[in-house]
Structure 1
């Protein structure tokens, strides 16, 4: 059984690394890197309450890395910081009109790319992807607390 678990674990790493490499390749093809791509995604997904802390937490990136990404987006006129009305110490990140247009076009291309990939899978494979992924995440969370 130990060898079978090793095989499964190795297969998972191959899947994880391979998937990351595909997204990195897609991002590079569109003139950015994976961290920038995912930052744009989070800015769009959390339009009213996106902060540097949220991006760091979701992407598990150091504050310095996220700060550099955001500084680049600000320099291009894509993102601006606004003081949160709830807590003056918190800076909310929002797209400028130019940034929203850029992100919408780019993320629509990513949606199309992912949809093409999902269409190449059966319903059972798509469901198994989610079921297995969430079961794995739940099992890892339980194991870390053991």
Structure 2
């Protein structure tokens, strides 16, 4: 039984590392790195409440790394910081009009890329991907809490 569990863990790491490598390659082909790509994704997904803290939390990146990414996006005129009306201490990150157009085009290309890949899988494989991933995440959280 131990060998089977070890095989699954090793297979999972191969999957995780391989998936990250594919996204890193895709991002590089579009002039970015994976962290920049995912930051743009989060800015688009959380248009009304995206903060540096949220990006750090979601991507599990240090504050300094996210700060560097955001500084680069600000320098390119893609992102700006605004003060939250709900909490004046909080700075919200929002796309400029140029940034929104850039992110929309880039993230549409990523959507198209992912959909091409998903179409090569059967509906059963796609559902198994989600079900297995959710089960794994739940099991990891439960193991962490034990």
Asked if 1:12 is matched to 2:17, the reply is: no
Distance in structure 2 (CA, Å) of the matches to 1:75 and 1:29: 21
Deviation readout 1:6-36 (Å, 9 max, x if unpaired): 0000000000000000000000000000000
Runs of 4+ residues deviating >6 angstroms: none
User: How many residue pairs get matched?
Assistant: 146
Distance in structure 1 (CA, Å) of the matches to 2:64 and 2:30: 24
Tell me by how many angstroms 1:136 deviates: 0.1
Distance in structure 2 (CA, Å) of the matches to 1:108 and 1:50: 20
Deviation readout 1:53-101 (Å, 9 max, x if unpaired): 0000000000000000000000000000000000000000000000000
Q: What's the counterpart of residue 98 of structure 1?
A: 98
Q: What's the counterpart of residue 44 of structure 1?
A: 44
Q: What's the counterpart of residue 127 of structure 1?
A: 127
- Taking structure 2 as the reference length, the TM-score comes to 1.00
Unaligned segments of structure 1, at least 5 residues: none
Distance in structure 2 (CA, Å) of the matches to 1:21 and 1:70: 23
Task: Give the SS at the match of 1:47.
Answer: coil
Q: CA RMSD in A?
A: 0.3
Distance in structure 1 (CA, Å) of the matches to 2:74 and 2:83: 15
- Taking structure 1 as the reference length, the TM-score comes to 1.00
Q: Aligned runs of 1:109-120 on 2, under 5 Å?
A: 109-120=109-120
Distance in structure 2 (CA, Å) of the matches to 1:30 and 1:37: 9
